[in-house]
Structure 1
């Protein structure tokens, strides 16, 4: 007989016993009369009911008691159920019911009961729903030869229904195991559950088997990036039974350490970049070994060993091109390079580690360094000196001490030139002619400088790369006036009433800027170079001299004697130097004795500022001089030429004289020489030339 037919018979019997007519109007329908549930799960019992028209349901509940002589108990009032049962239906037709967290004690038959508002309106649905509560079970089978175990998850509720299962080891989910059969890879307590009902697990079964190390791998602690200077620990992970008793570590294929029992770690303190490499470990127990995969240890660090190199190597010649390269060891690689010259930043090139200098010049000479940076820090290179070599340039001449170059001082001319390597040879030129060639001596010294040292100087600076000449440098020697004398215009006989010009001549650098005239020792107001006497008369007779001055010093001339007597003025110049006086006096005496009469006169004494002058100085006379005492030069030979103004060259006279010493210092002779009258009526002149000193003598004819 079918379940549906049996239910109908029971309901009919109950309705007949209760004496209620219209049994077909009372009905309870159970969708699943038999339910098997797993221990710990929740069970929902689907249900529907109906009752006669005109009734109203006042009470609904479920019960697991079925006794005819007493009213069944509502499960919600049972202490074992009241927190675990829920009525999901209503008072119309739905009577679904749920029990939470079922256990084996909940295995029973459950009925739905409802009561209406009419007399006799009580109904209980037959035959009820039978609930069977069972637990999943794990069965273990183990092969003694290999120690391998097989676990099977048994399900007595649905033995013939395919289900997906999940497995747990020591309460933790075992991935990718959805079958009812499991071959465990390691020891532990295993349990199973239906997929999507993971909270309902079987009782755990302990698995213990022996095997060689497997799943061997290396891990590092702390995890993440490994920074230089930190400490890290490499751990050799594996599964083995019995436990591993020896671990061996390898770096880049070479054994580096073998630790004792159960010490599965390798610690590196203060790790360095040299510790980077590929590591692996080998774990060994009594059943064999397990070898890990290679594990790369990548030690990261800020730039170090930073230095500058140059290409091409060797000497750096001006005009060439060079490349400076910033070399640095870093992990991760350098991302920013910054260049400096003599302490000042000159370039920030990002990831460009080269600094190019095209057409290099001496201005590029200096100390260079670079900064190399990554995210961990910066490394600074040592200084690199770029020494640009070039031929001499900017060659010039300077003088020391600066300022005017005064005659008699000492000066140093310096050849200045910029060159690398330094100049090795200096050559000096004066007025275009080479005067000195010296290796590594750039100075040209002139001691006790004279006016003859004036000129245009330049130098050549030379070394292996070339030669460069300086610009011309003018050496201008300044000196106080010298060789000062008085010149008379016109020369010869001067008629009384004529105009006579006395000229003060002097050699000086810079030129004389002040002339002062004196007559008989008294200053004359006129200050120019020329002193003019107009309408000359006897009162103009006297001794005249001049004093000259420039910014360097002063000098005094000889005495010029103007003697106005009768109708004619005789103008006699006296030599400023003693030697010149001697020469002139001797000359006049000789000429007088050989050609005419001599007359005595009182000696006129001339003086100079400096006393005795150089005999080489030019001396102009009409002069009178002081007699000279014997000296070491008494044997000085004098040459004189007396040439009358004549058309005949035969009138030229030559004489050689020696001046004897005269004891009569007060006696001075003047000589008048009378020549035959010529058609031109000109006068004669006596000239002497020796060592740039010229003596002029004018002798008037009576």
Structure 2
């Protein structure tokens, strides 16, 4: 029977990715269509089941895509699990899955999936509270806050209860920062202190994502080139995804923090994008690869002239041809 299993409702954080776990069933008579030779194709329709009006994602015809994504499941195994990248408010809506393979063409309309996007929340308000026992001392003890590394602190105290609250906004900059609360007692002619500390562990989406190129982003054809993507995230980056910009479309290349060309060619010239992703979001970084044509340097009449290989070959053929033309003329003059 025809059936599809997928989540009915879920929320996605704007700027991150969303994974739709999806499996489908078909009538037995259509099993013969679900074979490698049929080139199974998965489509996602949004807010309607008409392909020509509501298509937003096509697994093989990327020019039809309104959303950047990928079907990670194996359609031949009836797994239609899909990931959409860089989720935004335009992704909000109801989604229908369509399978096409040979003579099988069907839109699943009974079960649909609704995506709701949420604005990102890169920071939150936090309060650290420090408390201590009071002693019969005069003047009363004091509580002070400090941090490593040093950051501006805003604190409020209630001396009657010997409580001090530290209020701040937690961002990725506070990750692994140690806050210390110190109590100071004035006893006779000396001060006595005691302290306690806490180290924050802040989770955040990828930050400071960058792409480096070795040996250089401008390189001669035929050389080896490696692109490396790095990013700061907590939890650590789950995966790096590489894509290339060409003819107005984004071509997905591979995953992994490096992208290597053993022998680079002029066709590899263009913009390359790396997307770093963890469970809290994504961040992109780009680099332009400029491939230089390999050339030979010739010295003619004491002037330096730079020719490409093809020009050099043309000159060589031209000289050889003229040599053959002049050879019989020279023989006739000799006679």
| Higher normalized helix content (fraction of residues) | 2
TM-score (norm 2): 0.41
Which has the bigger relative contact order, CA under 8 A and spacing at least 6?
2
TM-score (norm 1): 0.21
Bigger Rg over Cα: 1
